[in-house]
Structure 1
Amino acid sequence: MYRYIWKIKLKGGVTEQDLVDHWRESSTVLQEYPGALGTHLHRTRGEENSYFAVAEWESQAARDAMAEDVNAGVSDRSKRWLKFAKNDDFGLVDPRFAGEEIGVVLPKNQK
């Protein structure tokens, strides 16, 4: 699994609900791409108006293929996504991590 994690610090006048609505709607389009495994939005503990977004992909190649398609702006899917405001329209965006999972330990009752 490949994860891409970034932090968003909201700028003045932007509400949490603005961000949540944007994230949900724009992420729905990205989840149509092959290899998309979901996305999560987290409120940062102890830091007002800050959030972490986590996108999960089957592989870096799957995420790179999505990014290439979106940047080309030719497919119907990319055109739908490009109509959305960008994350940095909501505040400061700081990519924090991108990498492949190399191991996992789960509770015994989870597979």
Structure 2
Amino acid sequence: MGKLTTHVLDTANGRPGAGIKVELYALDGDARRALKTVTTNHDGRCDAPLLEAEALVAGEYELVFHAGAYFAALGANVPEPRFVDRVVLRFGIADAAAHYHVPLLVSPWSYSTYRGS
């Protein structure tokens, strides 16, 4: 059974990114369709997969992580406008039967991602 999951690691403070708003969109060319909005838990993860089973279909998706608001709430000393604010990750799912894990490693100054397991 395929599924899409994510988690956030706060690399500036060496801990999970708890309380970060994450939006999921399905893409069709330039059009975006909102699928889900969640907030990461104490471990920087979502309490359930973002998509699974028949809800996960092959195609293009976008995750939007509200990292700037997270760091501002922590009291991080960052200028306005923020260097890293909303992190937008666009990715494709080719095999809807597979597990796609899309983590975000983020600080107020940088971010990275990879396809995890």
Of Structure 1 and Structure 2, the greater strand share is in: 2
User: TM-score w.r.t. structure 2 length?
Assistant: 0.33
User: TM-score w.r.t. structure 1 length?
Assistant: 0.35
User: Which protein has the larger Cα radius of gyration, Structure 1 or Structure 2?
Assistant: 1
Of Structure 1 and Structure 2, the greater helix share is in: 1
Larger RCO, structures 1/2 (Cα 8 Å, 6+ apart): 1
